[in-house]
Amino acid sequence: MSETESPDIKNTGGGVLLFLFVLFAGMFALVMSRRHSESYKVPEFSVDGADLNQFNYTKVNHTISYNLTLNVTLTNPNTIIYFELSDVQVTARYQNNRFGPVTLMNSSTTPFLQGPKNTTIFQNVVVQGHSKTLLFDRQPMNADQIYNIGVEIAFREKFGRMCGEVICNLKLYLMSFNGTSWDRYNTTKCSEV
C-alpha cells in the first residue's frame, strides 16, 4: 500500500506543522517587538495631600519631633509592562536632614504587582517620631512659617530589573496651629533624583 500512496499526502502533515510553527514564531516576534518598542518607563509617584501635624525642634538636645501624614499615589505609565515591586520606602527631609523612614512594602512581604496603566493610592502614610539632628533655622518654628519638606520615595523591583528614588517637594504650614495645611488638597508630582 505504501507504493500507491502519493508523496503529497505524506508531506501534508509536515506542511501543516511547518505552517503552525511559522505562524506562532511570527506572533511571538510581533508581541516581543511591540513589548520592546515601548520604552520602559519607571513608576510615577505623587503626593496627593499632606498634613504636617507636628514639627517641633528642641535646641537644647537637638531633637526634632515630627508627624507628617501623606497620601502617596503610585502609577504604572507603561501600556504593556507590569511592575513587581518588592521594596518601597518613604523618608522625609528638612534642610539637609533625613528623618522618619516608613516602609510601604519590603522583600519579606508579598511583592506588589502593579498592572499597566494602573494606579494605587497609599492613604494616610504617617511619617512620625523623634530624631537627633542639627537645624540651622534662625527663627523659631511657628504657624506663619512655610516648611519646605522633601518626601523621598525609594523603590526596587523584585528581580532587580529596576530601582530608583524620587523626591516630592512639599510646602507645608504646621497643622496644629491654624488647622490648615498648604498641600492638603494639592497634588505634588515627584521627580527622579
- pLDDT value of position 36: 52
DSSP codes of every residue in the chain: -TTTS-HHHHHHHHHHHHHHHHHHHHHHHHHHHHHHHS--PPPEEEEEEEEEEEEEEETTTTEEEEEEEEEEEEEE--SS--EEEEEEEEEEEETTEEEEEEEEE-TTSPPEEE-TTEEEEEEEEEEEEEEE-----SS---TTPPEEEEEEEEEEETTSS-EEEEEEEEEE-BHHHHS--TTSS-EEE-EE-
Judgement on whether residues 66 and 132 belong to the same structural domain of the protein: yes
Give the pLDDT confidence score for residue 112 in this predicted structure. 82
State which residues form the domain around 94: 44-192
Average pLDDT on 106-135 reads: 84
Domain count, the chain: 2
Of 18-32, 89-103, 174-188, the range with the lowest mean pLDDT is 174-188
Is pLDDT of 13 > 70?
A: no
Residues 75, 117 within the same domain: yes
